[in-house]
Structure 1
Amino acid sequence: MTEADGLRQRRPLRPQVVTDDNRTPEAKGGSSFSGRVFRATFLMLAAFLTIPLLGALVLLDSPIDPEPLSFKEPPLFLGVLQPNTELQQAERLFENQLVGPESIANIGDVMFTGTADGRVVKLENGEVETIARFGSGPCKTRDDEPACGRPLGIRAGPNGTLFVVDAYKGLFEVNPWKREVKLLLSSETPIEGRKMSFLNDLTVTRDGRKIYFTDSSSKWQRRDYLLLLMEGTDDGRLLEYDTQTKEVKVLLDHLRFPNGVQLSPAEDFVLVVELAMVRIRRFYVSGLMKGGADVFVENLPGFPDNIRASSSGGYWVSMAAIRANPGFSMLDFLSERPFLKKVIFKLFSQETVMKFVPRYSLVLELSDSGTFLRSLHDPEGQRVRSVFPCVVRAVLLGSCLHLLGASAMASHTDSVHMTPLFCFQPARGEQSV
């Protein structure tokens, strides 16, 4: 053997790189088997989850039967609607003393409101005093509401009394000084063959003769307000009650979730918020147009809730939820997709759906002709929360705009929490309120 042959024999072996091509048949087979097991397991889990879901979609009934509704593109949040933080400057009043306050009325310097635990209370000198109750307790959950009662709209009459509408009980007159309660119209009384299931708000003429009030639905109760909104039921009405003759008339029918109502300063027409249609309707009660109706303002930047007069001759309107533009409005998106709404409420409760509604508080000031004058915002929805329907309420008291925060009861949880009353002083002074 030569020296060259010896060197060749002692040359170190080169390292070998193992690739898929170098694997043994056994290794390839093992990997393929593991992949098949993984895919089979994944498909089984997917089927395990999907089959019950499909079964639920087929077998479960949806609580709503919605119709498609079409809205215009929401107005841009620019100019008058430019977002701000004005509402975050509101001062808290009666903190930890009120449970879901709704509307506000005042007689002199004394304020009155209805609460989520079924009471009508007097607010004076920092104290909260119960003056009336239309139902009976307990009043802790949404299931308690029909028996407990839920005072909503409240107005001061000409003789030092209050007119109050309870969502479940009817229309009442209350003497807050003597604590006397008089039932004017029971919710059990059918009007033109239909019951009143969701009395909401009212407005009263200066002489106390006529009371205009809304019945949001003959099908849905207040505790199911979200189902009413999502279904868009057109069974709401604007009604008139004559305190002398005791007669009741239907002024407007086929409204989709009528809510807040307000007489004009001249008392020649009544404005009624049509929440599910993001607009405000007008019905003429006197003058040449008596008996006629039209749209006062449409395509609002949110779903309107309550409406109250301003001292400048215009109106304050609070929004239950906004229609952000730029941005995304879930309610606008769903309005044209009734099938999707049915599926959602087959699978989820009202409480769950409400968690996806963004917190954003918005109050809009309108002129006497319906023009947007200005807007007050809380983009974080923390100072004054926006939970439907006990949203920000606006009512004039002197030069202070009073706002009501929302309670947990309003969002239909199983507990009741205290809710502060807010006092907001508009920067432009009392003449603009």
Structure 2
Amino acid sequence: MKEAEGLRQRRPQQPQVVSDESRDAETKHVSAYSGKVFRITLTTLIVTLLAPFLVATLLLQSPINPEPFSYKEPLLLTGPLEPNLKLRQAERLFEGKLIGPESIAHLGGEVEMLVSAQKIIQGRRMAFVNDLSITQDGRKIYFTDSSSKWQRRDNQYLVMEGTADGRLMEYDMITKQVEVLMDDLRFANGVQLSPAEDYVLVSETTMARIRRYHISGLRKGGHDIFFDNLPGLPDNIRPSSSGGYWVGMAVLRPNPGFSMMDFLAPRPWLKNLIFKLFSKEMTMKFVPKYGLVLELNEDGSIRRSFHDPHGVVVPAVSEAAEHDGYLYLGSIYSSFLCRLNLNKV
């Protein structure tokens, strides 16, 4: 081949013309590819995060069988319920030396079993014998059987399930007989006789209220609501020197604010999901700490309240017991007692 022919066969490359249209097409292609990668990544992430929840929902068993119920709107924290810092004036006693000191009592003498927890009463056993109050003559003992299903260590399950199997009982020291005074209570808890011993109060913890059972007088055998829609879940009830009652609040129902108890009450499916994914110990970590004690008048009105927002000194209150000018505070979630000088608040 001659050099001239070789040169004639080499065709010069055509110059590439770059226009706005070609740039737009390339940009659209890159954008479409990036969008596809983003969608795949996002979908993978969502599936990865939701997979445990889906597996838990389908395969795991919930330890509770919750019933739906609802509360009234919580009382506004105003007036005698106005938040304050009075509980922060309390001092801690025996810190680190106690395990869940719920109640304060003076014990002495011999211990005698009066009623066995294995005893079947009206077709049900007593799985969670809780609080008691004794008449001055020592003949009658009023006590609560919180549940025939759940035991004390499972109290969170009892609250969240809303089981209505709590009872108020009466034990006669002479006849040795047990009588059921009230049934179908949602977590029957604290018990306290009135100063005149004409009625007995009982905390219905899950329902945030206090019930009253009349044991003498014209209304004997009847019962009613002593205080409804408390600003928290009531625990034990103890007499105050003013003639009223101290009530420890185990959990706050804030208003204004978000109340987890009020939100979950009508949503049993959500309670099931929570307890499928988390242990009862873990769920307690989501409960805000807040110390609250109420003093109620004899007619059931609120006389005053002591608070510790965020539970700095008193994280929760199961019982408030007055003695010699001091208020002693116990809680099943604490490792100490607290003592508040009432003369200084």
- What's the TM-score once normalised by structure 2's chain length? 0.89
Conserved 8 A contact 1:91-1:423: yes
Q: Distance in 1 between matches of 2:214 and 2:179?
A: 14
SS at match of 1:105: coil
Q: Distance in 2 between matches of 1:364 and 1:266?
A: 21
Q: Distance in 2 between matches of 1:312 and 1:26?
A: 84
Query: CA offsets per residue over residues 232-278 of structure 1, 9 Å max, x none?
Result: 10000000111121100101000000110000011111000000111
Q: Distance in 2 between matches of 1:260 and 1:327?
A: 27
Match of 2:180 in 1: 250
Q: Distance in 1 between matches of 2:35 and 2:133?
A: 71
Aligned sequence identity (%): 59
Deviation at 1:44, TM superposition (A): 2.8
Asked if residue 65 in structure 1 is aligned to residue 65 in structure 2, the reply is yes
Deviation at 1:219, TM superposition (A): 0.7
Conserved 8 A contact 2:325-2:343: no
Deviation at 1:374, TM superposition (A): 0.3
Deviation at 1:93, TM superposition (A): 2.2
Counterparts of residues 353-372 of structure 1 (less than 5 Å) = 353-372=283-302
Residue 320 of structure 2 aligns to which amino acid in structure 1? A
SS at match of 1:402: strand
Asked if residue 422 in structure 1 is aligned to residue 321 in structure 2, the reply is no
Residue 82 of structure 2 aligns to which amino acid in structure 1? Q
Q: 1:183 to 1:105 in 2, by over 3 A?
A: same
Which consecutive aligned stretches of 4+ in structure 1 deviate over 6 angstroms post-superposition? none
SS at match of 1:76: coil
Larger Rg computed on CA atoms? 2
Deviation at 1:21, TM superposition (A): 4.8
Q: Distance in 2 between matches of 1:374 and 1:60?
A: 46
Match of 1:395 in 2: 321
Match of 1:105 in 2: 105
Q: 2:278 aligns with which of 342, 348, 363?
A: 348
Q: Which runs of 5+ in 1 are unaligned?
A: 1-17, 107-161, 163-175, 409-418
Q: Distance in 1 between matches of 2:176 and 2:88?
A: 44
Q: 1:282 to 1:405 in 2, by over 3 A?
A: closer
After superposition, the CA RMSD in angstroms is 2.1
Match of 2:4 in 1: none
Conserved 8 A contact 1:401-1:425: yes
- What's the TM-score once normalised by structure 1's chain length? 0.72
Deviation at 1:58, TM superposition (A): 2.4
Q: 1:39 to 1:370 in 2, by over 3 A?
A: same
Deviation at 1:92, TM superposition (A): 2.1
Conserved 8 A contact 2:99-2:332: no
Higher relative contact order (CA 8 A, sep 6+): 2
Q: 2:156 aligns with which of 188, 204, 226?
A: 226
Conserved 8 A contact 1:385-1:392: no
Q: 1:50 to 1:200 in 2, by over 3 A?
A: same
Asked if residue 215 in structure 1 is aligned to residue 141 in structure 2, the reply is no
Q: Which runs of 5+ in 2 are unaligned?
A: 1-17
Query: CA offsets per residue over residues 353-385 of structure 1, 9 Å max, x none?
Result: 211111101000000010000000000212111
Conserved 8 A contact 1:360-1:380: yes
SS at match of 2:75: coil
Q: Distance in 1 between matches of 2:28 and 2:156?
A: 58
Match of 1:319 in 2: 249
Match of 1:379 in 2: 309
Deviation at 1:403, TM superposition (A): 1.0
The alignment covers a number of residue pairs equal to: 328
Asked if residue 198 in structure 1 is aligned to residue 156 in structure 2, the reply is no
Counterparts of residues 150-165 of structure 1 (less than 5 Å) = 162=107
Match of 1:80 in 2: 80
Q: Distance in 2 between matches of 1:21 and 1:242?
A: 97
Match of 1:290 in 2: 220
SS at match of 2:141: strand
